Amino acid sequence: MKYILITGSCGLVGAEAVKFFNQKKFKIIGIDNNYRQKFFGPTASVKWSENFLKANIKNYYHHRLDITNYSGLEKIFKRYNKKIKCLINCAAQPSHDWAIKNIPLDFRINTLGTLNLLQLFKKYCPKSSFVQISTNKVYGDSPNKLNLIEKKTRFDVMSNSKYFKGINTNMTIDNSVHSFFGVSKCSADLLTQEFGKNLGLNTVVFRLGCITGPGHSGAVMHGFLSYLVKCNILNKKYQIYGYKGKQVRDNIHSYDLVSAIWEYYKNPKPGEIYNLGGGRKNSCSVLEAIKKVEDLTKKKFKFEILKKNRTGDHIWYITDNSKFIKDYKNWKLKKSLNNILVDIIESEKAKKISS
């Protein structure tokens, strides 16, 4: 029997991976201590997701454990050992706003927690694959140094720019403001690469932008589209942090990310890094997202635009997926931006009714 170990198993990507790999006949070792509630408050709790997985996925085995707890993790690795065929590390402190409030804890979770998992992976199941969920924040504010132009509802690059199709892994991670979150994730990113490039293990880093979907417990400091929709459904005022609301993100549904992980699992390459996201077709500014949600819900937004932007935040970020597509030709995006928004709206309406 094949096992997969998923940290952050009740979060957006983790829970999507649990359901996906369950369909592929894996047994799933899930690790999640619901620190999302600690970071962002009760409305961001993933307890509902934990309850759903326990009730509906019979091959799901839940462990409430902190990934900074090496001895606790080692007990799990000792038990399952070489039966673990893949490890997906989704556990993280995910917000660059929150990180500055507790820099040591952010670093312990994002960097030392990842190192714990890498060491145990190397010791107990070195022939399996290790998937690190990273972030485009490893580039710091380098994308802001591009020659951006301001349009009516968004910032953008010129159509003849080499970045028009998006940013690839050739962009430098040096000489930029990262935020402390960006630094801790960058450290984990490089460690994961080194276990692959230096030790020859099958490790991969996916540098993501906005991962989203109905499984997101959106909060003020994390979960852009999810929290945006939640504010609209609940008639709450939405605050936009700087850049006139014209900052651009591309959005990838958690299902499309997990299907990319599946393609890597079937044909792993040691020490690889990929930028992965929704691309230009799934991109939108905050203002454009507000308009799309209003059109779908038929409800007007209450929002305000603050002058101050988040430290190290991107004005424009669109992902170039071409490297991954070249290596894994069977993968393609299935969820459009409209699909994503409809999924989130239906989910948030259901949550409102049930509460």
pTM: 0.95
Is the pLDDT at 311 greater than 90? The verdict is no
CA 240 to chain centre: 21
Number of domain units in the chain: 1
What pLDDT does residue 329 have? 97
**Does the CA dihedral 331-335-337-340 come out positive or negative?**
negative
What pLDDT does residue 327 have? 98
Higher pLDDT, 256 or 301: 256
CA distance 135 to 155: 21
31-76 pLDDT tens trace: 999 999 989 889 889 999 999 999 999 999 999 999 999 999 999 9
The backbone torsions φ and ψ at residue 105, rounded to the nearest 5 degrees and listed phi first, read: -70, -40
CA angle centred on 128, ends 77 and 30, rounded to 5°: 45
315-342 pLDDT tens trace: 999 999 999 999 999 999 999 999 999 9
161-184 pLDDT tens trace: 999 999 999 999 999 999 999 999
What domain range includes position 335?
3-354
Domain containing 237 — which CATH number? 3.40.50.720
204-247 pLDDT tens trace: 999 998 999 988 777 776 778 999 999 999 999 999 999 999 99
Higher pLDDT, 80 or 219: 80
What pLDDT does residue 216 have? 79
Mean residue pLDDT of the chain comes to: 95
C-alpha pair distances (Å), 103 with each of 91, 96, 122: 17, 10, 28
138-164 pLDDT tens trace: 999 999 999 999 999 999 999 999 999
CA distance 305 to 37: 26
